[in-house]
Structure 1
Amino acid sequence: MKTYKSRILRTYSILIGVILAGLGIVLGQLFPIFVEHSINKIMSAKFEKVSNYLSTTNLPKEEQNNINYMMSSTLQNDTIFSVQHSVWLLLFFTVIAAYLLALFLGARIFRKYAQPIDHLTETAMELARGNYRIRAFEDDFSGMSKLSNSINILARNLHDISIMRETEKERLKTLIENMGSALIMIDGNGIVTIVNRSFLDQLQLSLDNVDGKLFRKIGLPHNMEAFIDKLFLTESSNREQLHIQRNLHTYYMDAYGAPVIGEHGRWLGIVVVMHDITELIKLEQIRKDFVANVSHELKTPVTSIKGFSETLLFGAYKNEETLLSFLEIIHKESNRLQMLINDLLDLSKVEQVGYKVNLNKVELREILIRGLEMTTHLVEEKNIKMETTVDENVHVLGDKNRLIQIMMNLLANAITYSPENTTIHVNIYKNKTFGVFQIQDEGIGIKKSEINRIFERFYRVDRARSRNSGGTGLGLAIVKHLVEAHHGLIEVESEVGKGTIFTVSIPIVKS
């Protein structure tokens, strides 16, 4: 692109050339007449002097006339031609010299005054392209200082605005990308313009297959597409609970959608925000199951106690054998009811936020001895053999009574689900971080699909066996919370028909 300086210099050179050419033509027409007139006048004076001289000589008159004629015809023509040729050369070189001088002076002047304009033009074009770091030269001599200063102020303001805009853009991008909720924004044409990482992760989509694509083409669940269609049709905010099936699991989403309104009420599209409420739904279901299970567990002993006591009141007490049998059943059911209530109270206590145990130095061997003493009657009833391997001086940081409760629950659980005449292995050892006790039985085992559920309240692998043994279904839930209160770990390994291994790790006492 030609600069302002080159354009104005070209125009100036053409204009000066035309003017000098015209002036040369005019002078070329006038100079011959002036030269011829001047030469004729000079030559006439010369010839007159020659004639006067010849008249003083003794030459005949006719010869004098011949000499004057020859001089007049020859010298005058040669002189006029020679002078005219010199004048033409002088005029030509004078015009050329004047033209070159005018170009030189014009170039110097235009360079001083036109170059700042070119620089300001280039600066303005760079600003238009988004280069806000460029600055214009401020030259007082050229007379453009005010314009240069104004452009520099504009450039600084635009640079500050661009920095602020980029900062806000990065903040918004960081907020959108790191928010826990899934977000998607769709313009008025149905094209996805904004989507965050949570949305892509929850729906297992990639950014390349979503960004800039039509929302119907990116593989959204049908109920989500229907929800988006409803937002486009109604052009008003709406909230729905969506369920999404993924990898044989159902996820629940609380979806809120609203139209995006720009300036002057212009409708830009919609935005949808989804919160994963799967855990809340599960917790609500667990709460319902817990209430149902508690009701069922309480109903069974209460019904038995009520039924047998009514039977006794209606005359069965007169038969001593029947009376003793019924009283034994009532006593057994009341004990079961008391155990259930105590376990519920324990579970409620350990599930409280901020529940803490009294941590002291405890030896795991003492915990095992107490646990074996409290379960001796259960071992003798089923003729189970207990094998123990105990490392000496395994001291952990824990609550002695709560650790005994953990040990007793796991031993009772192993005994309950083990057949008669089998062996239970108990190992106690330590590593760099934890003191470990491991209880291995030869019982019915647990399916892999059920291992993650055995710590749920009232969940039983074998409901009939557990209930008949007097279990409440809350033991492992209590154990899990007590282990977590000790900042420990509990792991389960099991194989159906071969047995189960419970491994509990409690932090050791640091010396």
Structure 2
Amino acid sequence: MTDGVIATNQNGAIILLNSPALELLNVSRETALEMPITSLLGLEETHTFEDLVENQDSMLIEIEREDQLSVLRVNFSVIQKEHGKIDGLIAVIYDVTEQEKIDAERREFVANVSHELRTPLTTMRSYLEALAEGAIGDKELAPRFLSVTQNETERMIRLVNDLLQLSKFDSKDYQFNREWTNFIRFISLVIDRFEMTKEQHVDFIRNLPQREVYVEIDQDKITQVLDNIISNAMKYSPEGGHITFTVDLDEEKGLVLFSVKDEGIGIPKKDMDKIFERFYRVDKARTRKSLAEPASVLR
């Protein structure tokens, strides 16, 4: 869709508009012609035509279109005759719905990341201050304080690495390094690593085929995906819970389906269609322990 264009006379009544403008504003040409531009743009309660001429260069408006709310940017230019008399107004309309959505999600994500970084930084500062004030000489406290500081540092590094990974995925030059891999052996090694290092009492259940299954994958990237999924499952599993790993084969379609099922609090149905959106995070009130790995990285 090209940009929408609207022209008015000196009184603000619409005298011309193109087809994209009609589509963007969800209005017919018959309805729009001769209508005040303030009414067409839904501004009649907040702006006069004189306001648009004298004070307004650009603004955002919301229009309901196809049962969805669209965000439009409108740029205004005054039509003036040589002697300076106002002869009308030109409005150019752009659909910025997706950009505004991304910007809003980015702002929320930055706020979430700032909160997540503030917590370990505050903890580290407290422990480092205690060490500086004399705890460094305590053979019992010093190792504990240093261990906490190291863990919090690693937590921040993981968060920053996730952000860098998202940036790499955005690059047009990004390429996967695919190679044929025995997927069952590959999956088993990943699960083994978590089973050996897990701290809480969570049982791992494996439902894996008893034969070799080869797939063409980027092992490093799939390892990162699996690490994130399994880490999240462990973070949100209750003590004594079960995490079930299942590999199903769809021979007809040539697909290998891998699933991880835990007994955590789950994701609300209302959020299911949004979990792979960039910067999206489920309601913070439902989370526990710490920020889960972004689903956009997993995707």
Shorter chain as normaliser: what TM range? 0.7 to 0.9
Code of the residue aligned with 1:301 in structure 2: it is P
1:370 aligns with 2:226: no
- Structure 2 vs 1, CA of residues 417 and 204 (structure 1 numbering), >3 Å: closer, same or farther? farther
Of 403-412 and 255-264, the range deviating more from structure 2: 255-264
Q: How does 1:37-76 map to 2 (within 5 A)?
A: none
Higher strand share: 2
Q: State how far apart, in whole Å, the 1-side matches of 2:53 and 2:101 are.
A: 33
| Structure with larger Rg | 1
Aligned to 1:424: 244
Deviation digits for residues 138-189 of structure 1 (CA, Å, limit 9, x no counterpart): xxxxxxxxxxxxxxxxxxxxxxxxxxxxxxxxxxxxxxxx41x222234457
What displacement does 1:347 show? 3.2
What displacement does 1:223 show? 2.0
- Structure 2 vs 1, CA of residues 319 and 261 (structure 1 numbering), >3 Å: closer, same or farther? closer
CA contact (8 A) 2:249 2:257 kept: yes
What displacement does 1:443 show? 2.5
Aligned to 1:450: 271
1:440 aligns with 2:258: no
Code of the residue aligned with 1:256 in structure 2: it is N
Aligned to 2:40: 220
Code of the residue aligned with 1:337 in structure 2: it is M
Q: State how far apart, in whole Å, the 2-side matches of 1:458 and 1:378 are.
A: 29
Aligned to 1:209: 31
RMSD: 3.9
What displacement does 1:311 show? 0.9
CA contact (8 A) 2:61 2:74 kept: no
- In the superposition, the TM-score normalised over structure 1's length comes to 0.48
- The partner residue of 1:332 within 112, 136, 151 is 151
Aligned to 1:165: none
Higher helix share: 1
CA contact (8 A) 1:241 1:254 kept: yes
Aligned to 2:49: 229
1:241 aligns with 2:63: no
State the secondary structure of the residue aligned to 2:265: coil
State the secondary structure of the residue aligned to 1:436: strand
Q: How does 1:253-402 map to 2 (within 5 A)?
A: 253-259=72-78, 269-377=88-196, 381-390=200-209, 394-402=213-221
Higher RCO, 1 vs 2 (CA within 8 Å, ≥6 residues apart): 2
CA contact (8 A) 1:183 1:199 kept: yes
Q: State how far apart, in whole Å, the 1-side matches of 2:150 and 2:140 are.
A: 15
What displacement does 1:358 show? 1.0
- Structure 2 vs 1, CA of residues 368 and 311 (structure 1 numbering), >3 Å: closer, same or farther? same
Q: State how far apart, in whole Å, the 2-side matches of 1:340 and 1:327 are.
A: 20
Structure 2 residue runs without a partner (length 5+) = none
- The partner residue of 1:409 within 210, 220, 228 is 228
Deviation digits for residues 234-253 of structure 1 (CA, Å, limit 9, x no counterpart): 5xx95221231538976443
State the secondary structure of the residue aligned to 1:253: strand
What displacement does 1:388 show? 1.8
State the secondary structure of the residue aligned to 1:375: helix
Percent same amino acid among aligned pairs? 25
State the secondary structure of the residue aligned to 1:222: coil
- Structure 2 vs 1, CA of residues 439 and 239 (structure 1 numbering), >3 Å: closer, same or farther? same
- Structure 2 vs 1, CA of residues 391 and 238 (structure 1 numbering), >3 Å: closer, same or farther? farther
State the secondary structure of the residue aligned to 1:214: coil
What displacement does 1:266 show? 10
CA contact (8 A) 1:423 1:442 kept: yes
Q: State how far apart, in whole Å, the 2-side matches of 1:324 and 1:226 are.
A: 64
Deviation digits for residues 260-296 of structure 1 (CA, Å, limit 9, x no counterpart): 5799999874432111233333333444444444433
Deviation digits for residues 423-475 of structure 1 (CA, Å, limit 9, x no counterpart): 52423324536543233333312123323443444835556854x2xx55444
CA contact (8 A) 1:379 1:385 kept: no
- In the superposition, the TM-score normalised over structure 2's length comes to 0.77
CA contact (8 A) 2:14 2:36 kept: no
- Structure 2 vs 1, CA of residues 379 and 333 (structure 1 numbering), >3 Å: closer, same or farther? closer
Aligned to 1:184: 6
Q: State how far apart, in whole Å, the 1-side matches of 2:199 and 2:144 are.
A: 24
CA contact (8 A) 2:181 2:216 kept: yes
CA contact (8 A) 2:245 2:260 kept: yes
